[in-house]
Chains A and B, each alone.
Chain A
Amino acid sequence: MSMQLSVKSRLSSTVASLKPSGIRRFFDLAASMEGVISLGVGEPDFVTPWRMREASISSLERGHTAYTSNAGMPQLRVEIQKYLEERFSVSYHPENEILVTVGASEAIDIALRAILDPGDEVLVVEPCYVSYEPVIRLAGGVPVFLKTTMENQFKLTPEELETHITPRTKAIIFCYPNNPTGGTMTADEWKTLLPIIEKHDLLVISDEIYAELTYGRMHDSIAALPGMKDRTILISGFSKAFAMTGWRLGYVCATPDLLAGMLKIHQYTMLCAPTMAQMAALEALRHGRSDMERMIESYRQRRNFVVDGFRQIGLSCHEPDGAFYAFPSIASTGLSSSEFAEKLLMEEKVAVVPGDVFGESGNGHIRCSYATSMEQLKKALDRMESLMGKLS
């Protein structure tokens, strides 16, 4: 007698109930077409600077091919400590407060798994990076979404934070500078939230992967504010500022008790981050500053150009202070984000990501990455203008 296998029943109910990524669906659509100009890419358009590539090659030639210590190469952790201290005035001890991970992605995962019990609620500042919700669910948590709006430059307000806290709320997770909005928070704005965070004894997961990509002012890390280091899990990595997405290297910083918890998960699931990537990261922190600055300058120039461009074709757009995304409103067209993005792709061959993929409060917007060449940006704006003409 043959057995009937049902795939669904073999998956855990949590995994079976996860929605496929909205970004993925859009990717499949765009990838099937020719001649598409893409503003849908969430990664730098620069190749990793040669200095880092060369450091990795040369470490391979010298035979550095073994596991490193679980927490990452000691010298890399020291460089991360120095870097965070110098750039953002946050200080973590390289011995027991810094852990090198397989991308910020792994850091987000182990941070949540380390702190959540089943049913714990995690506040998620929306619009947000697509992974937060599923990763919270996989860790047994319950995401609760906090909204931000263009009128508020996509900043989190104390009112919005306070109204969603319940006795089950364990932590809050956000990313500033933000993917997808490009919104940022200043130290003064953070300060308005601290009393609430303290009163409800929340843990803070601060994804600062875009910290270097700010325009016009330095990034303010919430971990640098008085009393916040003890309750903050700071996550960052090399993907964005150093153009190292494929290397899969990130890190997480937290107090020793939290870090020890994360290290347990990390050592049983990953052992350690890739050695070659750690070698390249070491070089990036030691000597990659000017490469990074050159890229940031170029993002800023392109930011100025596209924001102006969107406004000229009649799309209202907040001037993003960070990351490499603009998040214009398409509400004036009367279309939903997905309808607009789909029309733009089908009729004008420009790929953008519909804003609602990043949560409900992203509806009425599209995410446009300006990490692409000026030539492509110009063409994309022309094509968007042509669509706007047809819609009006």
Chain B
Amino acid sequence: MDSKKQRELLHLLEEDSRMSAEQIGKMLAEPTEVIERAIATLEAEKVIVKYPALINWERVEDHPYVNAMIDVKVTPKRDVGFDEVAERICRFPEVKAVYLMSGASYDLSVVLEGKTMREVATFVSQKLATLDSVVSTATHFILKRYKHDGIELEDRDEDRRMVVTP
């Protein structure tokens, strides 16, 4: 499969990971087996990492859920730079994402998910702030998510067209 088709395949899966290989095959005018093989290869190469569902938890009742973004300033260690402390932070299951940032007044951006604000606060004060290289933290709670991973969570565009037109 050529690289252009491979990119199309990835876009389709990103849009809807539940699409069957048969359907994708029809859309890309390729036999089902070719699609299956391509997907297997992409999985093996870790291009496709996971098939998650995007859930708007705010719509789920009684689901206590808080998100925070934490700016973390660290002193880099000789030889390993920021990587060592970043990897340690990654290992906490509460942590959803860790990014090394440029141009900011902090070094690492840590995205955290917890059941309550207290849980997040405890994590920051007892686990994150106590790490050796961490100099300071600033915690920002996310109050509402409007758009996530390219999807607008509230105002999904509906089809505004007339039923039949020229």
Residues on A close to B: CB < 8 A?
Answer: 21, 23, 26-27, 30-31, 36, 38, 40-43, 45, 47, 129-131, 179, 297, 301-302, 304-305, 308-309, 351, 353, 372-374, 378
A30 touches B164 (CB 8 A): yes
Whether B164 lies near A41 (C-beta < 8 A) is yes
- B166 interface hit (Cβ, 8 Å): yes
CB distance from B28 to the nearest CB of A (A): 6
Query: Does B75 belong to the interface (CB within 8 Å)?
Result: no
A297-B8, A301-B8 known; A43+B164 contact, CB < 8 A: no
Distance, CA A282 to CA B27, complexed state (A): 32
Taking the complex as formed, is B3 at the interface, i.e. its CB lies under 8 A from any CB of chain A?
no
Tell me the smallest distance from the CB of A31 to a CB of chain B, in Å: 5
A355 CB to nearest chain B CB (Å): 14
| C-alpha spacing A40/B163, complex, angstroms | 6
> At the interface with chain A, which of B66-74, B81-89, B140-148, B154-162?
B154-162
Chain B nearest CB, measured from A245 CB (Å): 8
**Alpha-carbon separation in the docked complex, A51 to B159 (Å):** 20
User: CB distance A36 to B163 under 8 Å?
Assistant: yes
Nearest residue, chain B, Cβ from A24 = B164
User: What is the CB-to-nearest-CB distance from A359 to chain B, in angstroms, rounded to a whole number?
Assistant: 14
- Assess A42 versus B165: contact at CB under 8 Å? Given A297-B8, A301-B8, A301-B12: yes
A26 touching B27, Cβ below 8 Å? no
Check if A40 sits within 8 Å of B8, measured CB to CB. no
Which residues of A sit under 8 angstroms from B166, Cβ to Cβ?
Answer: 21, 23, 42, 129-131, 179
- Whether, in the assembled complex, B37 has its beta carbon less than 8 Å from a beta carbon of chain A, the answer is no
**B23 interface residue, CB < 8 Å from A?**
yes
Q: In the complex, which of the residues A23, A304, A305, A378 contacts B165, with contact meaning CB atoms closer than 8 Å?
A: A23
29 residue pairs bridging A and B, Cβ less than 8 Å apart: A21-B166, A23-B164, A23-B165, A27-B164, A30-B163, A31-B162, A31-B164, A38-B163, A40-B165, A41-B161, A41-B164, A42-B165, A42-B166, A45-B161, A131-B166, A179-B166, A297-B8, A302-B27, A304-B26, A304-B28, A304-B29, A305-B23, A308-B26, A309-B26, A353-B164, A373-B159, A374-B16, A374-B19, A378-B23
B162 to chain A: which residues have CB within 8 Å?
A: 27, 31, 41
Specify which chain B residues have a CB less than 8 angstroms from the CB of A47 in the assembled complex. 157
Number of B residues near A (Cβ < 8 Å) is: 17
A305 touches B161 (CB 8 A): no
CA distance A38 to B29 in the complex (A): 24
Contact of A301 among B27, B161, B164 (CB under 8 A): B27
Given contacts A31-B163, A41-B164, A308-B26, list 5 more A-B pairs with CB under 8 A: A27-B164, A30-B163, A47-B157, A179-B166, A301-B12
Task: Write out the residue numbers on chain A whose beta carbons fall within 8 Å of the beta carbon of B28.
Answer: 301, 304
Give the distance in Å from the alpha carbon of A43 to the alpha carbon of B16 in the complex: 24
Known: A45-B159, A47-B157. A304 touches B27 (CB 8 A): yes
Contact of B164 among A179, A304, A305, A351 (CB under 8 A): A351
Which B residues are in CB contact (< 8 Å) with A27? 162-165
Give, as a whole number of angstroms, the nearest-CB distance from A8 to chain B: 26
Chain A residues within 8 Å of B26, by CB: 304-305, 308-309
**CB <8 Å contact, B8 and A41:** no
Asked if residues B29 and A40 are in contact (CB atoms below 8 Å), the reply is: no
Of chain A, the residue at the smallest CB distance from B15 is A374
CB distance from A321 to the nearest CB of B (A): 13
B27 touches A41 (CB 8 A): no
Q: A316 vs B159: C-alpha distance in the bound complex, in angstroms?
A: 29
Q: Which of B8, B16, B27 has the most CB of A within 10 A?
A: B27
**A38 lies within 8 A of B164 (CB):** yes
Q: A374 vs B28: C-alpha distance in the bound complex, in angstroms?
A: 13
With a CB–CB cut-off of 8 A, which chain A residues contact B165?
23, 27, 40-43
Residues of A contacting B163 in the complex (Cβ-Cβ under 8 angstroms): 27, 30-31, 36, 38, 40-41, 351
Inter-chain contacts of A304 with B (CB < 8 A): 26-29
- Complex formed: what's the CA distance from A21 to B29 in Å? 36
Residue of B nearest to A130 (CB): B166
| Min CB–CB distance A117 → chain B (angstroms) | 28
Residue pair B164, A26 in contact (C-beta under 8 Å): yes
Chain A residues closer than 8 Å to B12, beta-carbon distance: 301
Most chain-B Cβ atoms within 10 A of its Cβ — which of A43, A297, A301, A374? A301
Given contacts A297-B8, A301-B8, whether A40 and B27 have CB atoms under 8 Å apart is no
Verify A43–B161 contact, CB threshold 8 A: yes
Q: How far is the CA of A38 from the CA of B159 in the complex (A)?
A: 11
Q: How far is the CA of A43 from the CA of B159 in the complex (A)?
A: 11
B23 nearest CB neighbor, chain A only: A305
Give bound CA distance, A26 to B26, whole Å. Answer: 31
| Chain B nearest CB, measured from A345 CB (Å) | 10
Name the distance in Å between A196's Cβ and chain B's nearest Cβ. Answer: 29
